[in-house]
Structure 1
Amino acid sequence: MKSSTQLLLILAVFLILAVRGALAQPEPILINCGSGSSTIIDGRRWVGDSSPPRNLTLSSPGTVASAARGADGEEGPYGDLYKTARVFNASSTYHLGVAAGTYFLRLHFSQLFANLSAEEPLFDVTANGLKLLSKFNVPGEISWRDSQINSTSVVIVKEYLLNVTSGKLGIEFTPEEGSFAFVNAMEVVPVSGSSIFDSVNKVGGHELKGPFSLSESGIETMYRLCVGCGDIERKEDPGLWRKWDSDEHFIFSLNAAHPIYNSSNISYVSADDSTLAPLRLYETARVTTESSVMEKKFNVSWSFNIDPGFDYLVRLHFCELQYDKAEQRKFKIYINNKTAAESYDVFARAGGKNKAFHEDFLDVGSPQMETLWVQLGSESSASSAATDALLNGMEIFKVSRDGNLAHPTVRIGGISGGVRKPKRSPKWVLIGAASGLVIFIAIVGAVCICFHLQRKKKNSANKTKDSPPGWKPLVLNAVKSTGSPTLRAAGTFGSSQLSKRFTIAEIRAATTNFDESLVIGVGGFGKVYKGRMENGSLVAIKRGHTESHQGQGVKEFETEIEMLSRLRHRHLVPLIGYCDERNEMVLVYEHMSNGTLRSHLYGSDLPALTWKQRLEICIGAARGLHYLHTGLDRGIIHRDVKTTNILLDGNLVAKMADFGISKDGPALDHTHVSTAVKGSFGYLDPEYYRRQQLTPSSDVYSFGVVLFEVLCARPVINPTLPRDQINLAEWALNSQRKNSLETIIDPRLDGNYTLESFKKFSEIAEKCLADEGVNRPSMGEVLWHLESALQLHQGHTQSANVDGFSGPKLKPSDVSVNIACIEVEESTRPASQDANAQAVDVKIEVP
């Protein structure tokens, strides 16, 4: 009996061990390529492939390369992985023996090894027949990636999720002819469970769920973000060892959402979720800011550069950190301007507060789609107490198509370029160069002869002919951006007939060495000084501050010179010249003595503008914008129309200013310009924001906001007022329904305007604010209606010969106008009262 019991115990032990062995998670395979020894990093053992374990073989050894130091930008011990690399001049395959299952495959590349030969590395990578990389260029990929996240790392890590069924994993490196391939390190990390994806929501499919399997697909991790918190390093994500980046480099505007924190009692909804994200991810979230004062379609947004022609999985991580009941927070989820979820209630889906979970969405891409947008917006129809959206984390995965995950073009310097051609032999290079030289000399000779024959004729014509009456576009030596991050070379822009290049000595003399007492405004670009030139003329001198010498400041400096060197119009602020020497970026304008339009509407002690003056100022600004839209072949879109960018000279003549973010209009065969969203809160076209498609109608929308600001003489958004009065246009619409518009119209007008003129003005302002650009009038139509409003006013006041209306006065309560809502947020910081000061409104933009 005793022996039987012992036998049963032994069998039970063997059975338990067998079950444990069957259920045991496979160990990760970590390879330090080009190394002959093992190293321990963050408690993980990386084996060298020069003395590999039994489950690893290499079909062709290639060569080993080493560096004296590790890669900069990789903190801690991970830099040791980038001291060696395995280099291949011909196709070679790593064969690994692994158990069937799902694996993360990570390939590490350091730019330190990209200069091993005269040719840059250019190669393909395939894993079990799935093409991961095609004509992969390491320096180009790093530049492209770093341009998105502002990183300085010289290392790129490509991550893939694969399903292995055969028990074997083959990773093949194939260099292009005449080039080479290399890899510094590889990770093969098993994922617990049958699949990391079970079912996904179809974007645009009314929250219809469908199965998703890796059995026939592979995916590439494009982005992995912690929303509202900083980076999460690999060691903080034990088990899968993933790195999570901060979302700050991808969010449209940090002002649109603020972070919240709660580090107590966070738990996972399901035990399986514990492997899908580290717990710290759910302790922080972003919540939309003051959605009650924001236009409902003005959402908190993140944008990502992606490879076109693929489908994308978007995984969103949620954990309710504030509310302890359902129905207290509901919001909408949009992916690429398509509704992914409505009335989303995090508490209800998780089953409680502090419960962490994720939701997966599949968006079918198009061949032209190069940007992916994720947006969270208010649920206007919800009965919940709050409509502020919440998000804790985000992952974006590219799904393979027809056995391919590789982007078909080479990224060089951050730009997608074509496939590089094989290098030509020196013999043919010399022959081609010699032929080109002969052709060049012949062309130069012909040009000289033609120039000699025509010079007298041209000189005579220039002396006897003046420019015809009226304005025509002046095309000069167009200022072109050098593309460099700073403008340090003397004479960057060359000479121009209209814009003088000043020396820094002249600028300092005009401003008494930038005397602070002469500062008349401060803007995003820098300070504006009132100066006096040697000839006695007054000027406004805008000096870029130190931060402007990098990135956007340089672009705005170049764009301002380029635009105003091509443009001349009575209703555009004239650019006299510029200075770009001795580390300075300075713009010199004519001085506008009557300041900004906004300073005459509110926020100062200046006398109130009469109705006629307001109409004439709006007409002048409309003429300037109409000229911008039609004066050149493609037209120019201002992109930042607002009352602080409408300046007034000594006669109150309106002039448009600040062309730093202006763009050339669409070509004849295009309807829009695809560009990052830039502009100012309160004036931004919602359609432009949603679609990132810029058109002249975007300026029309902003000008409509200006018209209502002129009518009411108050900020578009004023959070200091009661809730129902915060948004000017919303308040106006409610007042119209209550027949109490006297609370909206500027009381300083005191009824000195005519009913017909007022109606015409209000009607065109409303049309400018149509939600869709195709329903808005052109600036020419706006100008016509404003001039009609002025004629109506003058017709009623002509007999009195005064600006004000001396006949029966119109009471504001007698007027009912349908005013379109304007609900996008605006900064409430005071604007400068000088004409040439840059607006201090918060600008918003997408890199």
Structure 2
Amino acid sequence: MKLFWILYVASIHIFLRTALAQEKGPLFINCGSDSVFAAEGRKWVGDSVSRTGLSPSFIGIIAYTSAITVDEGYRSLYKTARIFNSSSHYNFTIVPGSYCIRLHFHPFIFESFNVNDSTFDVMANDLKLVSKFSVIREISLKNLMSNSSATSLVKEYFLNVSSNEIMIDFVPNSGSFAFVNAIEVIPVPAGLFIDVVNKVGDVGFKGLGGQGIETIYRLNVGGLEIDSSKDKLLWRKWETDESYMFSLNAASTLANHSNISYVSSSDSFAAPLLVYETARIMIDNEVIEKRFNMSWRFEVDPNFDYLVRLHFCELTYNTRSERVFRIYINNQTAADNYDVFVKAGGMNKAYHEDYVVGVSHQTDTLWLQLGPDTLTGIPSSDALLNGLEIFKLSHNGNLALGPERIDGFGEGAASKKHKSKSILAAIGVGSVSLLAISVSSAALFVFIWRNKRMSSMKQDNPPGWHPLYLHDTVGSTGNSKLRKSPLINTGSTNSNRIGRRFSLGEIRTATRNFDDALVIGSGGFGKVYKGEIEERNLIAVKRAHPSSNQGLAEFETEIEMLSKLRHRHLVSMIGYCEDENEMILVYEYMANGTLRSHLYGSNLPPLSWKQRVDACIGAARGLHYLHTGAERGIIHRDVKTTNILLDENLVAKIADFGLSKTGPALDHTHVSTAVKGSFGYLDPEYYRRQQLTQKSDVYSFGVVLFEVVCARPVVNPELPKDQINLAEWAVRWQRQRSIETIVDPRLEGDFSLESLKKFGEIAEKCLCDEGKNRPTIGEVLWHLEYALQLNEAYMQCRGDNTFTKNELKFADLSFSLPCIDMVENEPLQNISGETSSNLLGR
């Protein structure tokens, strides 16, 4: 037996020497390992078995674990890592050419090495890849941008090598250390990147020769995620594009699994054919107004050039001029009169198109938009996209961020003047208000270990590395000790959440094991179930679906918000459950469901005009509390009729705080943030500038008000194009002072015309294009109550003729109002003599 093991180890050494000395084939290195194994279609070689291919000065500490929290494919790969507490490097012998380098990072705590404190630089030959690099911080940013909950990170680079070696240096910053879990070094076909590319906005071209390239985004547009094992050439992973689209409602998906071929051999290197089998196209282009482009928004690093690679394959039309569109990159025309069929030379032919665009130091956003080319005169003009990649190009041998960008931690250019305060809002560091810390901490999902979990881990696992548990978290609150909480806490802490923590067993019992018969709603987060807990109390259980676009950040935000907010017109959170990787929120049960369900799309009886106005008043009161109840206020960011719920007494309450943001500080006018919300309700000023204010909620609420009047969807592509968008259509009628023309016919005139007009006036004010011209939600509330009093006066007058021209006193509003009959439309005055139009203009 002893002889067997000696021969076995010797054979492993011989194999590793051969693999690491390989000149032409790809190298897959499992750092901190002494074994060989297969994962994701590749054979990974441990770096501990042989020093062949590694620098003689190679040093490092081996870290390992017996438990891991990543997907099965990389589970074995991420069980080990190599830690460097001084400058060290890997040295690979290769033949000159182009190479792809991937660095794999999985956060961990090993003995005295806490990855929350790990920052380091990485160089590949003379190219600086990262500077002051924090894996924890990078994962947090990635999850925020893509609504994901990743626990690991892969950095991918392309470089041309003229020598016979690739040296990858890991340089810890002062007092810190570096680490890496795995390295890939893959030869790249010469045609993957061409030397000269069109530069958007300039007359000329951009030369790529000799530049380092970093992959920032790689998306399978309109399709599912493509695993790296399905890309046999370069083992690339392709994400879905949903998280990056400005509005999914502006596009539809297209699929065609017929025989697809590449236009040229160089195109065959660019992407697997799976990418070209799906696409996004514009929604019903026969009726949509021409300004409805398909749009994608990406966070990028300022002051770099970017290579934008678009993948195309015409899947529907077999003649030219059937699909002609424009391509816009960062609001500049990259191509017009673009016909995929003509470019490819036929249908089902796959190819890619490259553009270079510069991003200045004043912005950190890159937009891609595809839309109709109105100059072509083609009535059915449409757009199509199959895949998308964005690469960062090196500048003076550098791909790393500048120091000001690193310290700013992803802040927008507009807020760089207030850098220190932006950092506080972004990562929850420093002296900010209790609520701001909670929201910031939730957005970055602070990973904190509980006492019970820590004690069990110490019993179950040997000393050494402890993995990162995404779903065993608590949110930080105002405790100053938690303001700099690491994403992995080495100590224990108690939860400061308000609300009951349910076990998964209790939830299963309450919902009859998530019986579909109890489903009362569904959304981006997952399904909502009706449940029953002890003493026959009804609850609503919102359970996150594993493939949900909303993730841990939204889950934590909702808990942190509702733990601190208590108001009659806000849905109350009873508790939560996060056992066994579940994300479940438990609310009070709202017996009458959403406001929308009582307006259209169901068989429920229609609400009366009084009930509708009452519901809007309740929702406005809830929003007013959000905007004014805290030091900086809270912006809901997703006000719509499905997020206004009605209880058994039809009392309206605001729900769903997963996208909510703390308002701006006193010396700021807005919050710079990525655009999120629901199509049709989005504030156009917020969309254009990415500047969120309380007036953004006011705009969305204005759309809700017209939705209440008209009882129709906010966007309906099946209608004639001048009626598709409810807000624009209703405002046109309101400006003509003819809102009664579009009122829900089921109301059958059982309302005061003056009340309706007042209602329409305040709705119109809410939809002003510029936020400064919109009323506050408090002013909206006042006018809604005014409209309700007008209606009540009308109903009383109609029911009792003795009240004609008599004065009525209203308890809620301290003014007298003349009774309105069905014939006369006299101007309404308050006790100071001001007319209603004057009041509205305040």
Q: Residues 245 and 296 of structure 1: is their aligned pair in 2 closer, same or farther, counting only changes over 3 Å?
A: same
Q: What fraction of aligned residue pairs are identical, expressed as a percent?
A: 46
Alignment CA distance shift 1:245-1:731 (3 Å):
same
Distance 1:716 1:805, change over 3 A: farther
Of 668, 671, 685, the residue aligned with 1:670 is 668
Judged with a 3 Å threshold, the aligned counterparts in structure 2 of structure 1 residues 708 and 295 are, in CA distance, closer, same or farther, namely farther
8 A contact 1:331–1:342 mirrored in 2: yes
Letter in 2 for 1:106: I
| Cα deviation digits, residues 341-379 of structure 1 (max 9, x gap) | 455332344444334333223332244655544343455
Matches of 1:602 and 1:163, distance apart in 2: 63
Structure 2 counterpart of 1:129, one-letter code: D
Correspondences of 1:294-313 after superposition (within 5 Å): 299-313=293-307
For residues 283-302 of structure 1, the aligned pairs below 5 Å read 283-290=277-284, 299-302=293-296
2:321 alignment counterpart? 327
Which residue matches 2:240? Answer: 247
Q: State the partner residue of 1:220.
A: 214
- Give the aligned partner of residue 398 of structure 1: 392
Assess, with a 3 A threshold, how the Cα gap between structure 1 residues 791 and 405 changes in structure 2: closer, same or farther. Answer: same
Post-superposition shift, 1:287?
2.2
Residue 364 of structure 1, aligned match among 342, 358, 378? 358
- 3-state DSSP of counterpart to 1:762: helix
Match of 1:807 in 2: 822
Taking a change above 3 Å as real, the CA distance of residues 767 and 378 of structure 1, as seen in their structure-2 partners, is farther
Partner of 1:432: none
Equivalent residue number for residue 745 of structure 2:
747
Mapped contact 1:74–1:155 kept (Cα < 8 A): no
Amino acid at match of 2:699: Y
Q: 1:776 to 1:348 in 2, by over 3 A?
A: farther
Match of 1:103 in 2: 98
Q: Is the 8 A contact 1:330 1:379 kept in 2?
A: yes
Partners of 2:658 and 2:680 lie apart in 1 by 19
Corresponding residue to 1:133 among 130, 133, 136: 130
Displacement after TM superposition at 1:766 (Å) = 2.8
Provide the C-alpha distance between the structure 2 equivalents of 1:48 and 1:533, rounded to a whole number of angstroms: 57
Tell me which of 678, 681, 704 is aligned to 1:706: 704
Q: Is the 8 A contact 1:324 1:352 kept in 2?
A: yes
Between the aligned partners of 1:650 and 1:602, the Cα distance in structure 2 is 19
* Distance in 1 of aligned mates of 2:497 and 2:34: 61
Query: 3-state DSSP class of the match of 2:397?
Result: coil
Amino acid at match of 1:125: V
Deviation at 1:219, TM superposition (A): 2.0
| SS at structure 1 position matched to 2:359 | coil
Alignment check: 8 A CA contact 2:510 2:531 kept: yes
User: Secondary structure in 1 aligned to 2:703?
Assistant: helix
- Say which of 152, 172, 175 aligns to 2:171: 175
1:643 paired residue number = 641
Would you say the 8 A contact 1:163–1:214 is kept in 2?
no
Residue 38 of structure 1 contacts residue 48 of structure 1 at CA under 8 Å; is this kept in 2? no
Give 1:575's match in structure 2, choosing from 572, 575, 591: 572
- For 1:513 and 1:188, the matched residues in 2 are separated by 52
Say if 1:62 and 1:636 are closer, same or farther in 2 by CA, change over 3 A.
closer
CA separation of 1:730 and 1:740: change in aligned 2, threshold 3 A:
same
Query: Residue type matched to 1:245 in 2?
Result: W
| Separation in 1, partners of 2:512, 2:151 | 41
Distance 1:40 1:532 in 2: 48
1:389 is matched with which residue: 383, 390, 394? 383
Question: In the alignment, is the contact (CA less than 8 A) between 2:64 and 2:80 conserved in 1?
Answer: yes
Q: Which has the larger radius of gyration?
A: 1
Within 2, Cα distance between the matches of 1:43 and 1:70?
22
1:716 paired with 2:699, answer no
Report the 3-state secondary structure (helix = DSSP H, G, I; strand = E; otherwise coil) of the residue aligned with 1:217.
coil
Q: Tell which deviates more after alignment, 696-705 or 152-161.
A: 152-161
* Conserved 8 A contact 1:30-1:47: no
Tell me, in whole angstroms, the C-alpha distance in 2 between the residues paired with 1:277 and 1:788: 61
Equivalent residue letter for 1:359:
E
- Give the equivalent residue in structure 2 for 1:264: 259
The CA distance in 1 between the partners of 2:78 and 2:540, in whole Å, is: 49
Decide which of 766, 775, 779 is 1:768's aligned counterpart.
766
| Aligned partner letter, 1:241 | L
Amino acid of the structure 2 residue aligned with 1:246:
E
Q: Which has the higher contact order (CA 8 A, sep 6+)?
A: 1
1:777 corresponds to = 775
State the Cα deviation string for residues 728-783 of structure 1 (Å, max 9, x = none). 45665898999997763222333455555444432332332344444433323433
TM-score where L is the length of structure 2: 0.66
SS at match of 1:627: helix
The CA distance in 1 between the partners of 2:42 and 2:531, in whole Å, is: 63
SS at match of 2:207: coil
Secondary structure at 1:192 match in 2? coil
Would the alpha carbon gap of residues 764 and 351 (structure 1) be closer, same or farther in structure 2, given more than 3 Å must change? farther
Residue 354 (structure 1) aligned with residue 355 (structure 2): no
> Amino acid of the residue matched to residue 542 of structure 1?
A
Partner letter of residue 311 of structure 1? D
SS at match of 1:364: strand
Map residues 254-653 of structure 1 onto 2, 5 A cutoff.
256-264=251-259, 266-268=261-263, 272-290=266-284, 299-336=293-330, 339-367=333-361, 369-379=363-373, 383-407=377-401, 483=446, 485-486=470-471, 501=500, 521-524=520-523, 527=528, 529=530, 540-545=538-543, 547=545, 552=550, 559-560=557-558, 562-564=560-562, 566-569=564-567, 572-573=569-570, 575=572, 577-578=574-575, 587=586, 589=588, 596-602=594-600, 608-648=606-646
Q: Is the 8 A contact 2:106 2:152 kept in 1?
A: yes
Q: Kindly tell me: are residues 210 and 531 of structure 1, through their superposed partners in 2, closer, same or farther at Cα, counting changes over 3 Å?
A: same
Contact 1:108 1:186 in 2 (8 A): yes
Q: Give the drift of 1:318.
A: 1.6
Shift of 1:173: 1.5
- Give the whole-Å Cα distance in 2 for the aligned partners of 1:258 and 1:311: 30
| Distance in 1, Cα, partners of 2:374 & 2:401 | 40
- SS state of the match for residue 212, structure 1? strand
Aligned residue for 2:254, secondary structure, equals strand
1:158 maps to amino acid: E
The alignment's TM-score, normalised by the length of structure 1, stands at: 0.66
User: Are the equivalent residues in 1 in contact too, given 2:793–2:820 (CA < 8 A)?
Assistant: no
Name which of structure 1's ranges 309-318 and 676-685 shifts more when overlaid on structure 2: 676-685
Query: Which range moves more in the overlay, 227-236 or 277-286?
Result: 227-236
Output one character per residue of 1:314-350: Cα deviation in whole Å (capped at 9) or x when no partner: 1112222222333322334344455544553323444
Question: C-alpha displacement at 1:575, in angstroms?
Answer: 3.1
2:541–2:584 CA contact under 8 A, matched in 1:
yes
Q: Residue 224 of structure 1: CA displacement?
A: 2.9
Structure 2 residue matching 1:709: 3-state secondary structure:
helix
Count of equivalent residues: 709
In the TM superposition, what is the alpha-carbon distance from 1:398 to its structure 2 partner? 1.0
Could you say if the C-alpha distance between residues 186 and 740 of structure 1 is closer, same or farther in structure 2, counting changes exceeding 3 Å? closer
The alpha-carbon distance between structure 1 residues 261 and 180, as it changes in their structure 2 partners (threshold 3 A), is same
Residue 576 of structure 1: how far off its partner (Å): 8.0
SS in 1 for 2:392: strand
Instruction: Give, as a single letter, the amino acid of the residue that structure 1 aligns with 2:692.
Output: L
**Alpha-carbon shift at residue 708 of structure 1 (Å):** 1.3
| Structure 1 residue runs without a partner (length 5+) | 1-25, 418-472, 811-847
